[in-house]
Amino acid sequence: MNSITFAPGAGHRRVDERTASTGRIAEGFSGLPERVSHRHVLTAFKRAAPYIGVPSRLVHAVDTLMSWSREVDWSEGQRPIVFPSNETLSQKLGIGIRQLQKLLNSATRWGLVAHRDSANGKRIGARGKDGRLIYAYGIDLSPLGVRYDEFVRIADEGTEADLRINVLRKRLTAARRRISSLVQLIIDEEIGGVDATGIIESTQLATHQMRKVRDERLLQACVSKLEGHAAALDERIRAVSARDNEERELVKDSPSGVLNDTHYTTTKQPPIAKATYCRGLARSSSERGYDVRNNEPQSEVEADLAHHGVDPSFIAAVAPEFISCPPEQMTWGIIIGDAERLIAQAAIPANVWYEACRLMGQKGAAASVIATAHKHVRGDVDRPGAYLRGMNKNAASGKLNLGRTFHGLKDHAKRQPVRSLSSSSDLRSIGQLLATALRSESRVGPALL
């Protein structure tokens, strides 16, 4: 619809369809209902303002204008007109004259106030001994009184909607936490056939999009989708658990129904890994001559790594960002080469690296460098050189537990995404989450939303 504007000239008020509509609303004012005061009108307007979308600065301006109004102005036969000057209003609101003019025009377009102008355009008025207005030209607050019932209805409907939205948000949080627990169980139990990473990314994306949404239908759809995914995960875990129970029932040491059967025992026990522990690793390794081709542990640190099952493939799986080959193709030679490359990138002094090789052996030193670089990238270590120097000191005193360190890094890598989902904090930006979700959708089908 085309807007028709009347511009009568400089010094006069511009009139368009919206301001004319507000003027017609003001003409319909015939006093407030019984037992309704102008304070009730202001309260109803403030309650309804967030649901209407009225800016807070405009709410503050209306509140300030109402301070000049009296109860008698809202009675039948009267008009609630206030007439403070622009200078007074700008001082009360803490804004400039031009900003005030724009604010008043905005209030008119929102249908909150009208204007009753004098011949010279000035705001002026006078009251009698009974407090009633004898004459007044200025800002007419009548539209607020006419719209009182509308404000009450909008505020009540908005409050009821808030309660329903609050319930939906609680259901959304419960579904997110349930998915978090189920995904953590899937990761811990290594249950196949479930894209745990994709589920985490999609759930984070969905919850991020719903943070400020007030559309009940959209929220309901998202909650139902997440609850459906949680139920599907639960069903998958139950199916795998039932299958495992059936397999355990089928695999028994004795045939069914046979009594006094001899239990099967192996006659050949698996060999026990043996490791030679020694103190003073610098002297012992140099005296015996360190051989990187020897698969047996040649230092106390390497023995600790072997004891905890930390081999090249394990290291590559924990810190793949520093490894140049796939985990299944890893050797200690590749680990050592990648560690030597990281020394310059992480600004680790060469003498600290040589000291690590002397104390831990080349394999243990390489594993220490990769663990240090991984913690540095994660933000846990500020100075990699100083951190590796501290590891050298612990290795010299026999207090370095590098195997447990790598298992801790592995557990952190497994649990951090699920932990972020539980706390509703995103590890990556929403753009990265969206890109991941789109890639997952192109591979396996639609995502959560």
Task: Indicate if the pLDDT at residue 350 is higher than 60.
Answer: yes
Instruction: Please report which helix (H) or strand (E) contains residue 56, including its range.
Output: helix 56-66
Secondary structure (3-state) at 186: helix
* Pick from 192-196, 258-262, 282-286: least confident: 282-286
Q: Given this model, what pLDDT does residue 420 score?
A: 57
**What's the pLDDT tens digit per position in 3-36?**
444 444 444 566 677 778 888 898 899 999 889 9
DSSP H or E stretch at residue 259 = none
**Is the model's pLDDT at 347 over the cut of 90?**
no
Partners of 133 in beta bridges: 127
pLDDT at 289: 66
* DSSP helix/strand/coil, 335: helix
Residue position matching structure tokens 């009182």: 148
Those residues with Cβ within 8 angstroms of residue 139's Cβ, 6 or more apart along the chain or in another chain: 65, 81, 82, 83, 84, 104, 113, 114, 115, 116, 123
Element spanning 74, H or E: none
| DSSP string for 150-166 | HHHHHHHHHHHHHHHHH
Over residues 66-116, the pLDDT tens digits come to: 999 999 999 988 999 999 999 999 999 999 999 999 999 999 999 999 999
Q: How far from the centroid of its chain's Cα atoms is residue 13's Cα?
A: 48
The mean per-residue pLDDT over the stretch 393-407 comes to 88
Mean pLDDT for the stretch of residues 243-265: 58
Beta strands 114-116; 81-82: pairing state:
unpaired
The predicted-structure confidence for 189-226, as pLDDT tens digits, reads as follows 778 777 777 888 888 888 888 888 888 999 999 999 99
Provide the pLDDT for residue 266.
43
Which pLDDT value is given to residue 414?
66
Q: What average pLDDT does the segment 315-323 reach?
A: 82
pTM of this structure: 0.54
Tokens in use for 5? Answer: 């504007």
| Band of pLDDT at residue 334, cut at 50, 70 and 90 | confident
Kindly report which listed range (38-47, 111-120, 432-441) carries the lowest average pLDDT score.
432-441
Which of the two residues, 310 and 284, has the higher pLDDT score? 310
Ranking 189-203, 240-254, 354-368 by mean pLDDT, the lowest is 240-254
Instruction: Among 216-230, 277-291, 296-310, name the one with the lowest average pLDDT.
Output: 277-291
* 225 φψ region: left (φ > 0), alpha (ψ -120 to 50), beta (else): alpha
Output the pLDDT for position 153: 96
Give the confidence band of 188 by pLDDT, cuts at 50, 70, 90: confident
Q: 22-40 burial string, b = 16+ CB within 10 Å, else e?
A: bbebbeebebbeeebebeb
Where is average pLDDT lowest: 41-50, 99-108, 338-347, 438-447?
A: 438-447
Helix axes 402-422, 196-209, angle to 10 degrees: 40
- Comparing 388 with 5, the larger pLDDT belongs to 388
User: Alpha helices of 28-66 — where are they, by DSSP H?
Assistant: 38-52, 56-66
d(CA 158, CA 141): 24
Contact 93, 100 (CB under 8 A): yes
Instruction: Give the confidence band of 307 by pLDDT, cuts at 50, 70, 90.
Output: confident
Q: Which of 408, 397, 391, 403 is nearest to 303 (CA)?
A: 403
d(CA 80, CA 29): 10
Evaluate if residue 297 carries a pLDDT over 50: yes
Nearest to 413 by CA among 377, 369, 368: 377
Q: Is the model's pLDDT at 275 over the cut of 50?
A: no
- Name the average pLDDT for the chain: 80
**Residue 445 has what pLDDT?**
44
Residue 243 pLDDT level (bands cut at 50, 70, 90) = confident
Rounded to whole angstroms, the Cα distance separating 403 from 193 reads 30
Residues 120-156 have pLDDT tens digits of 888 999 999 888 999 999 999 999 999 999 999 999 9
Distance between CA atoms of residues 84 and 138, nearest Å: 8
